[in-house]
Amino acid sequence: MADDQWPRYEIGPQKHIHALGVVSLNYNLFEGALWLIFERYLGIDGPWFYERLNNSDRVAAMQQILHREANPNIQKMIIHLAKYFAVCTENRNNLMHAQHNFGARVAEHLIVNKKSNKNEPLTFSIRLDTLRQIADEIHAGTIFLVGIDKYLSSRAIHSDPETTNAVRESNPYREPPALPRMPKKLRPLGPLRT
């Protein structure tokens, strides 16, 4: 039997906390699927290389391996993917590395505090629809990434002279995926005043 009253201590608005969980799960999928790009362009060493990088280095590396791709439209997709992933990573890190501000009570908002890279305290006041939008944008990034991978895989079908026109036409990935709109960065209210 589920305990619908768990937890019995203050953690923040329940729907906001649920949305944070969705952000976390969606981000883990996006981050985990990113190795597909590394494997495609670096072969068997791609996943090994990917695992040894932090996320900001992965973004930089994605842009560096583009010399292995001759098609400028695909290069544009991968650059967009790298920038998209960077914004999603920043948003996720701001949310997952923050602490709930229990003293702040703002209707329909989750108030969290986090230190900036310069060690300055920052406060975020986040509405539920903003958290859900961040989760949806991260999910859209995963779909875009998988679409790129499927499209790149389908190039072999289209370039193979043995492939019939019927097979080419039935391939759902014969067109590149559309570039998703760049996600919005989560913005803090500013430095905390003491």
Cα-to-chain-centroid distance, residue 125: 21
Q: How far apart are CA 106 and CA 113, in angstroms?
A: 14
Band (189; pLDDT cuts 50, 70, 90) = confident
Tokens linked to 80: 């967009």
User: Listing from the earlier edge strand, what are the strands of the sheet with 190-191?
Assistant: 99-100, 109-115, 121-127, 190-191
Structure tokens at 130: 């903003």
Is pLDDT of 65 > 50? yes
Q: Which residues pair with 100 in a beta bridge?
A: 112
Please report, for residues 50, 131, 148, the alpha-carbon distance to residue 95 in angstroms, rounded to integers and kept in the order given.
24, 9, 27
Locate 102 and state its tokens: 């229990």
Place of tokens 């619908």: 4
The pLDDT value recorded for residue 194 is 45
pLDDT greater than 90 at residue 141: yes
User: Which stretches within 43-164 are classed as H helix?
Assistant: 46-51, 55-64, 72-96, 128-159
Mean pLDDT across the chain: 86
Given a contact cutoff of 8 angstroms between Cβ atoms, the answer to whether 190 and 122 are in contact is yes
- pLDDT at site 113: 85
The predicted pLDDT at position 178 comes to: 94
| Res 191 pLDDT > 70 | no
